[in-house]
């Protein structure tokens, strides 16, 4: 997972003020966890003038997450990132 996480983080925008912020999982599509467990990161969207809809959401410790998920549709669905 850590290799996949590093690879996916390379796709992320590093200067967004939202990156690393707590993801509340209000949609309840990810496994239930306590608030603060999940963090979200913006994935570059070619041609987009704003953050776009792509995100990576990781759960657990920020640098050694337990699991990471990708959404291309702004939290409407998720796919787990696996190595």
**Residue 74 catalytic?**
yes
Catalytic residue among 2, 27, 74, 80: 74
Catalytic residue among 2, 40, 80, 83: 40
**Residue 83 catalytic?**
no
Q: Provide the residue count of the chain.
A: 83
| Token reading at 73 | 């549709």
Contact in structure between 57 and 43 (CB atoms under 8 Å): no
| Token reading at 22 | 């707590």
**22: which strand partners?**
39
Residues annotated as catalytic are 40, 74
């Amino acid at each position: 997972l850590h290799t996949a996480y590093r690879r996916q983080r390379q796709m992320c925008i590093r200067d967004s003020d939202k990156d690393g912020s707590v993801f509340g999982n209000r949609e309840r599509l990810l496994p239930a966890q306590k608030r603060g467990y999940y963090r979200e990161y913006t994935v570059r969207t070619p041609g987009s003038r704003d953050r776009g809809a792509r995100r990576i959401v990781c759960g657990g410790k920020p640098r050694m997450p337990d699991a990471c998920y990708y959404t291309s549709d702004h939290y409407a669905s998720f796919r787990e990132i696996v190595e």
